[in-house]
Amino acid sequence: MTEPDPLLDRLAGLDPARSDRLPEPGSDRHAEILERAMRPSSNTSRRRTVRLLAAAAVVLVAVAAVLTFGPDGSRLSPAAALTRAAERTGDALTLRSDYLRDRGDGTFTLIRSEHHGADVRRRFFTVDADGTERPGEEGDDFIAYIGDRGWTAEAPDEPLRVDPSERNAPYAESSAAIVDAVSGAPVTDLGVDDVRGADATHYRIGLDDAARRRLGDLPPNQRSAFELEAPDQIRSLDVWIGDGYIRRLRVTQEFEPAGSLGTTVEFYDFGADITVTPPG
Amino acid sequence: MDERQFSALFDEHFAEVWRFARRRTDEADDVASDTFAVAWRRRHDLPAEDDLRLWLLGTARRILANQRRSTGRRQRLHRRVEVAAVALPTEPDPADVVADREADPLLAALATLSGADRELLVMRAWDGLSVTDMATLLDVTPNAVSLRLHKARARLAAALDGTDAPASRTRPRRPHDSEGGAS
């Protein structure tokens, strides 16, 4: 291949790097690339700040009287109970959650998560019609996020860099935002149900135009876990509140011609000792 | 090696590393930075000057491959409910890079080749690498590079003429098919 080759010579003349501007020595861009090479940035301090802020939020929550009863012991109105539960749930630092998504064939996708602030470890299961939980087809299927790093079951030794702004908000934060968005809508108290062995009051939200509009105004990262990109499709929205927290949130949507989509998230183990660690 | 010496090394090799990356991705600054970050971490253990150029290009090549794998995984995550509905960058691919410039039919023909063929031709025509250097980077013998390069060139010519080469027909592009993988 040392002889002249008109085809490759012609190709050489089309080298895209010839026409693109190389960062010139002495330019800011050139210096920045060298700086990034020699001093990779650390997110440690930022992560620490986030955790301190989250811890401070928990302290504030701990001293607040935020049960479904007011300071004088009277029962809060449904709207007030929803608002307070939204605040309290959204501020929780550690908790666990089960996210169930109806596949429409009698089975469900279950995402079981442990949360510490924005750090989360999720495991994926299939739930059969008889309630049997099965792990992913290839064994333990998980995602873990710590700060801006993400690990998946496919490559547990190769963390990805994922900007937190590209991720879904934590389910508790999303649920809190959804409940807060609809707290001004008509609410019906449907009585007390058992949620994971504890009493929780079941509220059904009567979605009016204003509530749907507020749901539509939520940031994408707070809507997408529940796929609320089209609030007009929502058929029902139910919230269960116990001990001042959102214990369960269920959203049912109707898509034509795909059929209905049901998503339910349950929260438990608030304040548990949870630390999310890298896999392995 | 101190910072001053490393800066000199950076100045000497930056342009080639950046261009090598730019021919394969739109994120050449990041790949160059990551490549020299590896060099900085291993500054006490770098190959001799004669081998340093190929070592840097090989490092850039691995970073590009990791970048493609990571992007592929991120896209899978995106589909798995977890990642918010925010647009992610598409997978960088040399074919896409050249496809942006498809005003020339030769680039259009190049874009139709397999990732392995493209990588050989790009290494030769754009990176200006010798067969021996290509063999080092691809970890194959020079004879194998010569043979594959000859075939790739024939397929490029056939694609330019709008006909298929007689052997080893061009296969359709698949996702993640852009890695050289000429072995």
Q: Say yes or no to pLDDT of B83 above 50.
A: no
How far is it, in rounded angstroms, from Cα A129 to Cα A266?
19
Please give, rounded to a whole number of angstroms, the shortest distance from the CA of B179 to a CA of chain A. Answer: 18
In order, the DSSP letters of chain A are --S--HHHHHHHTT-HHHHS-PPPTTSHHHHHHHHHHHS----HHHHHHHHHHHHHHHHHHHHS--SSB-TTSPBPPHHHHHHHHHHHHHH-SEEEEEEEEE-SSS-EEEEEEEEETTEEEEEEEEE-TTS-EEEBTTB--EEEEETTEEEETTEEEEEEE--GGGBPPPHHHHHHHHHHHHTTS-EEEEEEEEETTEEEEEEEE---HHHHHHHHHS-HHHHGGGT-S-GGGEEEEEEEEETTEEEEEEEEEEETTTEEEEEEEEEE-TT---------
Contact residues, B window 23-42, toward A, CB-based 8 Å cutoff: 23, 28-29, 32-37, 39-40
How far is it, in rounded angstroms, from Cα B54 to Cα B62?
12
Per-residue confidence band for B76, with pLDDT thresholds at 50, 70 and 90: low
Which positions ≥6 away from B139 have C-beta within 8 Å?
Answer: B183
Cis preceding linkage at A159, omega within 30? no
* Chain A environment of B33 (Cβ under 8 Å): 33, 36-37
Instruction: Encode burial over B70-99: b for 16+ CB neighbours within 10 A, e otherwise.
Output: bbebbbebbeebbbbeeeeeebbbbbbbbe
Q: Could you tell me if B23 and A15 are in contact, meaning their C-beta atoms sit under 8 angstroms apart? A: yes
How far is it, in rounded angstroms, from Cα A244 to Cα A203?
13
Instruction: Tell me what percent of the residues of chain B surpass a pLDDT of 70.
Output: 68
Q: Say yes or no to pLDDT of B170 above 50.
A: no
* Chain B environment of A25 (Cβ under 8 Å): 11, 14
Please give, rounded to a whole number of angstroms, the shortest distance from the CA of A20 to a CA of chain B. Answer: 8
Q: Going residue by residue through chain A (280 aa), what tens digit of pLDDT does each one get?
A: 456 788 999 998 888 887 777 888 888 889 889 988 887 543 333 333 344 444 444 433 333 333 344 545 556 678 788 888 888 888 888 899 998 888 777 888 888 999 988 888 988 888 888 888 888 655 667 888 888 888 877 777 778 777 766 677 777 888 888 888 887 888 899 999 999 999 999 999 988 888 888 888 887 777 766 667 677 788 889 999 998 899 999 988 876 655 677 889 899 999 899 999 887 6
**From A20, A38, A122, residue closest to B82, measured CB to CB:** A122
- The tens digit of pLDDT for each residue in B23-67 reads 888 888 889 998 998 888 888 888 888 889 999 998 898 888 767
Q: Could you tell me if B116 and B123 are in contact, meaning their C-beta atoms sit under 8 angstroms apart? A: no
Between helix B131-138 and helix B142-161 the angle, nearest 10°, is 100
Q: Does the beta carbon of A157 lie under 8 angstroms from any beta carbon of chain B?
A: no
At A256 the pLDDT is 62
Residue with tokens 């050289």: B180
CATH class of B94-183: mainly alpha
At A229 the pLDDT is 67
Q: Which carries the bigger pLDDT value, residue A193 or residue B105?
A: A193
CATH domain A44-135+164-268 topology:
outer membrane lipoprotein receptor (LolB), chain A (2.50.20)
CB atoms within 10 A of CB A10: 13
Q: What is the mean pLDDT of residues B128-154?
A: 89
At A2 the pLDDT is 57
Matching fold, domains B1-92 and B94-183: no
Per-residue confidence band for B80, with pLDDT thresholds at 50, 70 and 90: very low
At B127 the pLDDT is 92
Contact residues, B window 56-95, toward A, CB-based 8 Å cutoff: 66, 69-70, 73-74, 76-77, 80-86, 88
* Chain A environment of B84 (Cβ under 8 Å): 165-169, 220-221, 224
Please give, rounded to a whole number of angstroms, the shortest distance from the CA of A33 to a CA of chain B. Answer: 5
Strands A259-268 and A108-116: unpaired
Query: How many Cα atoms occupy the beta-carbon half-sphere of A78 within 13 Å?
Result: 21
At A262 the pLDDT is 83
At A54 the pLDDT is 45
Q: Does the beta carbon of A72 lie under 8 angstroms from any beta carbon of chain B?
A: no
CATH class of B1-92: mainly alpha
Q: Is the dihedral of CA B19, B24, B25, B30 positive or negative?
A: negative
How far is it, in rounded angstroms, from Cα A73 to Cα B131?
84
At A195 the pLDDT is 94
For chain A, domain boundaries? 44-135+164-268
Query: What's the angle, vertex CA A47, arms to CA A46 and CA A48, rounded to 5?
Result: 90
Query: Could you give the ipTM of this predicted complex?
Result: 0.71
At B78 the pLDDT is 44
How far is it, in rounded angstroms, from Cα A110 to Cα A133?
8
For chain B, domain boundaries? 1-92, 94-183
Q: Does the beta carbon of A38 lie under 8 angstroms from any beta carbon of chain B?
A: yes
Burial of A109 (0-12, 13-18, 19+ CB in 10 A): middle
